[in-house]
């Protein structure tokens, strides 16, 4: 696999850091997740966080250390010194307290790539704590998503996930450069700057037009037909006609000859100015059509469309099932669940789970013995609570 032979030590929790580790693990790196004796707190989240751990922690080993004890901290420092990549996403200053900051680890291992996932890059905000929702409010994404006066966060952890992606991109770039220079590098990825990039198009819209971008519910669309419509039986469907060909195809499909013949609607810009007139006509034509009848017609006419779906419905999505976009992931309790894979292929192959989600400390003995600890030392460390040993390994998931 692309990253075979690369060791990644991941000391992170929640979403951002684990996403970075998951990507590197899916690409073939050995990813060692460092957890406290009770395990990553993300394992125990309820509600919207209930799926975090299993989603972002596949293809990893687990080592359980109490880093508040000197012996546990020393074990972690030895482990970090053996790594190619070290990942963390703790509050500012925590890594320096543990002797795991870039400056300290670089003295021990000059080839190490140190990836920090932060709320903010260096600047006036760098000591602030941040969450996905915090930066969505600060960087304009919540403003753009909700109506005026009602900022609304996006319905997924978009910045946490993308922040982890950019951390992985930075790590891959640093690994490539290390092949030429032999030296590691510090990589920082931040939630706020990530969200600013998501809103860059709206910043530039203002730079071009001189007018502030309106929130999504109140914006002036760039295309006349770009909306959600009601179909028979209460179903909803998004339809778009972004070019003249799609507009003609949609009018032909719905039998709207009068719109097609109207010369004042010949171009997209003319249709945008007439949206208030066009959309009610389209809505009336669509309201009695069954989705099962409409979908094949839209496909054959090459008109962009999408049924409005809930995330739980994706387990049965025919495209994901037929294309291999979901794969069974073994969980730490021996059960399994279909899991979305990274959204790309290499030579036509998807990157599959190779390991079950690890139990807490499942690989502590294996990893520390490899670092030179003896069996006796491990039991001594376990006796004082500096490490947690897991005696019954979880079965390994079927290899890709």
pLDDT tens per residue across span 85-136: 999 999 989 999 999 999 999 999 999 999 999 999 999 999 998 999 999 9
| Percent with pLDDT over 90 in the chain | 93
Of the candidates 172, 18, 155, 174, the one whose C-alpha atom is nearest the C-alpha of residue 102 is: 174
Q: What is the pLDDT of residue 347?
A: 96
Element housing 240 (H / E): strand 236-241
Output the CA torsion sign for 172, 173, 176, 178: negative
Residue 120 CA to its chain's centroid (Å): 18
pLDDT tens per residue across span 280-325: 999 999 999 999 999 999 999 999 999 999 999 999 999 999 999 9
Angstrom CA distances, 19 to 33, 58, 77, 163, 285, stand at: 12, 10, 22, 8, 45
φ, ψ dihedrals at 227, nearest 5°: -155, 170
- 21 and 8 in contact (C-beta within 8 Å)? yes
What is the signed CA dihedral for 265, 268, 272, 273, rounded to 10 degrees?
Answer: -50
How far apart CA 204 and CA 213 sit, in angstroms, is 9
Q: What is the pLDDT of residue 52?
A: 95
Q: In this structure, how many other beta carbons lie within 10 angstroms of the beta carbon of residue 388? A: 22
Q: What is the pLDDT of residue 400?
A: 35
Largest CA distance in the chain: 87
Element housing 337 (H / E): strand 336-340
- 30 and 6 in contact (C-beta within 8 Å)? yes
Q: What is the pLDDT of residue 393?
A: 40
Q: Token pair of 210, please? A: 């001189």
Angstrom CA distances, 298 to 206, 291, 309, 346, stand at: 35, 10, 18, 31
The CA radius of gyration of the chain, in Å to the nearest whole number, is 26
Stretches where the chain sits below pLDDT 50 are 392-400
Of the candidates 159, 220, 144, 157, the one whose C-alpha atom is nearest the C-alpha of residue 191 is: 159
Q: What is the pLDDT of residue 398?
A: 35
φ, ψ dihedrals at 117, nearest 5°: -105, 120
Q: Token pair of 266, please? A: 């010949």
191-198 and 158-181 are packed helices; what angle lies between their axes, rounded to 10 degrees? 110
Q: What is the pLDDT of residue 115?
A: 98
Average pLDDT, the chain: 94
- 107 and 184 in contact (C-beta within 8 Å)? no
Q: How far apart are the first and last CA of the chain?
A: 11
Q: What is the pLDDT of residue 220?
A: 75
Q: What is the pLDDT of residue 391?
A: 60
Domains of the chain by range and CATH? 7-198+324-388 (3.40.50.10540), 221-311 (3.30.1540.10)
Q: Do the bridges between strand 7-11 and strand 236-241 make them parallel or antiparallel, or are there none, so unpaired?
A: unpaired
φ, ψ dihedrals at 32, nearest 5°: -110, 110
For the full predicted model, state whether its pTM sits above 0.75: yes
SS3 329: strand
Element housing 114 (H / E): strand 113-118
């Amino acid at each position: 696999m692309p990253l075979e032979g690369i060791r990644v030590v991941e000391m992170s929790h929640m979403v951002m850091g684990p996403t970075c580790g998951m990507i590197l693990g899916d690409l073939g790196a050995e990813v060692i997740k460092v957890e406290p004796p009770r395990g990553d707190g993300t394992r125990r989240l309820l509600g919207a966080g209930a799926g975090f751990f299993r989603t972002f922690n596949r293809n990893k080993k687990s080592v359980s250390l109490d880093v508040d004890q000197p012996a546990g901290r020393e074990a972690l420092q030895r482990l970090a010194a053996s790594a190619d990549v070290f990942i963390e996403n703790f509050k500012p200053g925590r890594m320096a307290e543990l002797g795991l900051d870039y400056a300290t680890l670089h003295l021990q291992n000059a080839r190490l790539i140190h990836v920090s996932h932060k709320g903010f890059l260096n600047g006036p905000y760098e000591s602030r704590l941040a969450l996905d929702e915090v930066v969505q409010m600060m960087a304009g994404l919540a403003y753009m998503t909700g109506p005026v006066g009602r900022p609304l966060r996006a319905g997924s952890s978009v910045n946490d996930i993308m922040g982890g992606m950019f951390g992985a991109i930075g790590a891959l770039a640093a690994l490539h450069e290390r092949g030429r220079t032999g030296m590691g590098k510090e990589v920082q990825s931040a939630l706020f700057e990530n969200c600013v990039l998501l809103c860059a198009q709206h910043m530039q819209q203002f730079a071009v037009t001189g007018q502030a971008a309106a929130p999504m519910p109140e914006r002036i669309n760039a295309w006349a037909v770009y909306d959600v419509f009601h179909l028979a039986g209460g179903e909803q469907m998004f339809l778009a006609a972004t070019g003249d060909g799609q507009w003609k195809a949609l009018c032909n499909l719905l039998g709207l000859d009068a719109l097609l013949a109207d010369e004042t609607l010949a171009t997209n810009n003319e249709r945008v100015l007439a949206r208030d007139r066009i959309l009610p006509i389209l809505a009336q034509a669509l309201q009695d059509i069954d989705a099962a009848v409409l979908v094949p017609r839209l496909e054959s006419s090459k008109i962009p469309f999408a049924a409005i779906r809930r995330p739980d419905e994706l387990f049965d999505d025919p495209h994901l099932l037929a294309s291999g976009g979901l794969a069974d992931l073994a969980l730490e309790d021996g059960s399994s669940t279909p899991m979305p894979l990274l959204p790309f292929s290499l030579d036509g192959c998807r990157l599959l789970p190779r390991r079950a989600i690890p139990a807490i400390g499942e690989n502590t003995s294996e990893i520390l013995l490899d670092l030179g600890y003896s069996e006796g030392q491990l039991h001594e460390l376990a006796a004082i609570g500096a490490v947690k040993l897991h005696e019954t390994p979880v079965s390994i998931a079927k290899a890709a």
